[in-house]
């Protein structure tokens, strides 16, 4: 079975739109981009297009690549104070001379709709549900797991990758669902020994087709988070083209249930960001601002 996320994401977007209409104010999302990193431009375009469909007004704040860290921090402070912006994100990666940690820490946690601020991460760790913004990709994965009624309690969940935005928070969320969680990374010894025990395997390593069929248990649920753009031969002497591929070899689909790339986790990430933006707008309305 393939674990599709696209249709579910459309359903979430439909709910966000209906709720946004009922609010009487259009939720507003700010997107800060520093520089012209090409993949970020693609992701941001997608976020802006999808926001529009969800009844959310998205505004782009673009700074040049050579902006100083203090200029980025000044924009973050301005957006923190801007009464018309419900929530905003700073698109990562930032140019190397700017500290993402400093920039993320400067965001008002009540506007941190990416859920990357230490305060929101801390609430995720403590399983505090009130006024928290959960990071979009892991909460999208949890929605996918719920949608397909994948049993979590007591399951062996193995995560490959320990990033702050995917690996660590999804490990914590699965732990809160009573899974027995193992987190693997580049220093893990004998990785297949761990992955073969997984009832639920979440792969976020950014290594195309890294997980092979002999690393996966028959019938396991495999969530492929990886997205890497690779060049492909067009044939007939035509110029090469490119496509986005996941971390899981497509042959794994013959023995396990896999979320496809594209069409699996990606659309859910955007949908959850918009759901967080709606939540921020509701919080602002409740506070009478
Ligand atoms: P990341 O910061 O790129 O880190 C990769 C992780 O994989 C690290 O923890 C690294 O271990 C681990 N790793 C690398 N090689 C490994 C190996 N041989 N064996 C075991 N672990 C290994 O991670 P990320 O930001 O979470 O991104 C991962 C992938 O997910 C990327 O392809 C990214 O584009 C994609 N992504 C997709 C979405 C979406 O919406 N679909 C969202 C976010 C990310 P160390 O910590 O030891 O270095």
Which domains does the chain possess?
22-108 (3.40.50.10860), 136-265 (3.40.50.720)
Q: Which of 3, 163, 195, 222 to mutate to test the pocket of ligand 1 (most atoms within 8 A of CB)?
A: 163
Distance of CA 185 to the CA centre of its chain: 19
Q: Is 182 in the pocket of ligand 1 (CB under 6 A)?
A: no
Would you state the pLDDT for residue 24?
Answer: 87
Which ligand 1 atom lies nearest to the CA of residue 227? 32
| 218 close to 256: Cβ distance less than 8 angstroms | yes
Which protein residue's CA is at the shortest distance from atom 1 of ligand 1?
163
Give the CA distances from residue 175 to residues 14, 171, 194, 237, 258, in Å, rounded to whole numbers and listed in that order: 30, 6, 17, 51, 21
pLDDT at 238: 87
State the maximum Cα–Cα separation within the chain, in Å, rounded to a whole number.
63
What are the pLDDT digits (tens) for 131-185?
899 999 999 999 999 999 999 999 999 999 999 999 999 999 999 999 999 999 9
Task: Provide the phi-psi class of 219: left if phi over 0, else alpha when psi is between -120 and 50, else beta.
Answer: left
Q: How many angstroms does the Cα of residue 207 sit away from the middle of ligand 1?
A: 8
- Residues marked as catalytic: 47, 91, 114
Question: Is the model's pTM score more than 0.75?
Answer: yes
What is the 226 CA–ligand 1 centroid distance (Å)? 7
CA of 163 to the centre of ligand 1 (A): 6
pLDDT score, position 87: 98
Which of 185, 212, 263 should be mutated for ligand 1, with most atoms under 8 A from CB? 185
- In angstroms, the CA 150 to CA 227 distance is 23
Gap between the Cα atoms of 137 and 114, Å rounded? 9
Q: What pLDDT sits at residue 183?
A: 99
Q: Is the CB of 207 under 6 A from ligand 1?
A: yes
- What was the pLDDT predicted at 130? 84
Closest CA to 44 of 90, 84, 75: 90
Residue to mutate (ligand 1; options 195, 225, 244; most atoms within 8 A of CB): 225
Q: State which ligand 1 atom lies nearest to the alpha carbon of 207.
A: 32
Cβ contact 276:143 at 8 Å: no
Collect the ranges in the chain with pLDDT lower than 50. Answer: none
| CA separation for the pair 98, 216 (Å, rounded) | 39
The helix/strand count (H/E) of the chain reads as 9, 10
Contact 43, 91 (CB under 8 A): yes
Q: Provide the 8-state DSSP code for 61.
A: E
User: Which residue CA neighbors atom 40 of ligand 1 most closely?
Assistant: 266
**Which residue matches tokens 């000044």?**
74
Q: Show the tokens assigned to 173.
A: 């969320």
**Token pair in block for residue 87:** 């929530």
Whether the bond between 202 and the residue before it is cis, its omega within 30 degrees of 0, is no
């Amino acid at each position: 079975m393939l674990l599709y996320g696209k249709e579910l994401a459309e359903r979430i977007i439909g709910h966000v739109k209906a709720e946004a209409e009922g609010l009487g104010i259009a939720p507003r999302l700010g997107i800060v981009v520093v520089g012209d990193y090409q993949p970020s431009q693609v992701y941001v375009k997608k976020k802006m297009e999808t926001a529009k469909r969800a009844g959310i007004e998205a505004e782009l704040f673009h700074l040049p690549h050579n902006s100083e860290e203090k200029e980025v921090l000044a924009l973050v402070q301005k957006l923190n104070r801007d009464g018309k912006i419900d929530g905003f994100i700073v698109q990562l990666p930032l140019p190397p001379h700017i500290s993402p940690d400093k920039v993320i820490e400067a965001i008002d946690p009540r506007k941190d709709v990416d859920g990357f601020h230490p305060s929101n991460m801390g609430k995720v760790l403590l399983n505090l549900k009130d006024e928290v913004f959960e990071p979009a990709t892991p909460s999208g994965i949890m929605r996918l797991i719920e949608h397909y009624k994948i049993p979590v309690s007591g399951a062996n969940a193995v995560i490959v990758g320990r990033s702050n935005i995917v690996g660590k928070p999804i490990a914590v969320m699965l732990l809160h669902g009573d899974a027995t969680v193992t987190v693997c990374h580049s220093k893990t010894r004998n990785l297949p020994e761990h992955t073969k025990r997984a009832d639920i395997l979440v792969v976020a390593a950014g290594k195309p087709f890294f997980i092979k069929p002999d690393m996966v248990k028959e019938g396991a649920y495999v969530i492929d988070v990886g997205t890497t753009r690779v060049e492909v031969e067009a044939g007939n002497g035509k110029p090469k083209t490119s496509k986005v591929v996941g971390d899981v070899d497509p042959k794994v689909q013959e023995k396990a249930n896999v979320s496809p790339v594209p069409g699996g986790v990606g659309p859910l990430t955007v949908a959850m960001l918009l759901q967080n933006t709606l939540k921020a707008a509701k919080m602002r309305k409740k506070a009478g601002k």
